[in-house]
Structure 1
Amino acid sequence: MVAPDAGSNIQIQSYKHNGSLHRVWESSIVLKGTELTVIGANDKTQVIESDGRTWITREPAICYFHSKHWFNIIGMLRDDGIHYYCNISSPFVYEDNTIKYIDYDLDLKVYPDMTFDLLDEDEYEIHRKLMNYPDVLDRILYNNIADLQHWVQQRKGPFSPGFIDQWYERFLTYRF
């Protein structure tokens, strides 16, 4: 797999298991791009929903994608600290100047004090039945939720002290 170059502008697209487009982030700047990980950033970028509605993100965000893990992590810089929104998803692929992944509804919301909540289990169950997720996928996703929770508890990767701030400082060098 080819990786995006640092400083390049990419799009992020999430899909559903059935192949339908779910959501598009129009513009993110790549801060680090390898075949294994992509770290990107955006601020006040347009997001397009599958039904055509659009909205603009409210705060700077650092996005972490990994080609071996079934989740991606978004660290949002807010006045009261860093909030994380973690999508339980397929590992990313990079093609046509775009990060692509399948969103599996489940999300882990992590607060600045590193407590967390698992969200959207009801939505996951509906889509699991509707789109016939195989049992092996269900096990993979829940195992990755456990891994992600360990990352939070161990302050690993994007949850480590200074990680988001360091990458945000790098983002600022590209913006001006």
Structure 2
Amino acid sequence: MKNFYPEKPMVGYLNTQVPMTEVISQLQALDALFEVKRASYIMFRIESANGTRGINNNFVGAQADGARWPQKYDDNITGIVLRNENTTNKPRLFVAFDRWQTSIDFLLERVFNRGLYVGGYAHKIAKMPVRSAHDFAVAYKRDWVTGKSTANPTSTELNGILSMYKQASKFFQAPNIS
């Protein structure tokens, strides 16, 4: 396993937590498309077990052993954490962020750039337009979770995402145009 941040210190694992009310407030305050905020909210909830399982302020699973992230995050990465990945239980290197809000900024950018939101085009692996919450669930499973173009969410995963999307629609609404 290659560490793409050899200049950063190895640091011990610290389980960090953030209340979802703070995550919602942070997302509401940021200038981003409401659909990107909705998708980011859902992904944050899933990736972090509702804000209870951060790896040193990394609530989005950003790893240090696949490639370097955009340079603008270099100052926000405070170290590297060796931890077993939840899905595979294999050891992986994760970046440690300076604060939980960096996870939000990072996630918003990744969601937008990868087209993983309703109205986007999931172009990396899924290669599909995302026209609905259902499409988002499929694209998320393919592009973010598995990296497999044929993967589909289970009925439990789909129902969970559809439920979270309904909640997100209340928190992040389209601006009134009148």
| TM-score normalised per structure 2 | 0.31
Kindly indicate which of the two structures has a greater share of residues assigned to strand. Answer: 1
Higher helix share: 2
Normalized against structure 1, the TM-score is what? 0.31
Q: Which has the higher contact order (CA 8 A, sep 6+)?
A: 2
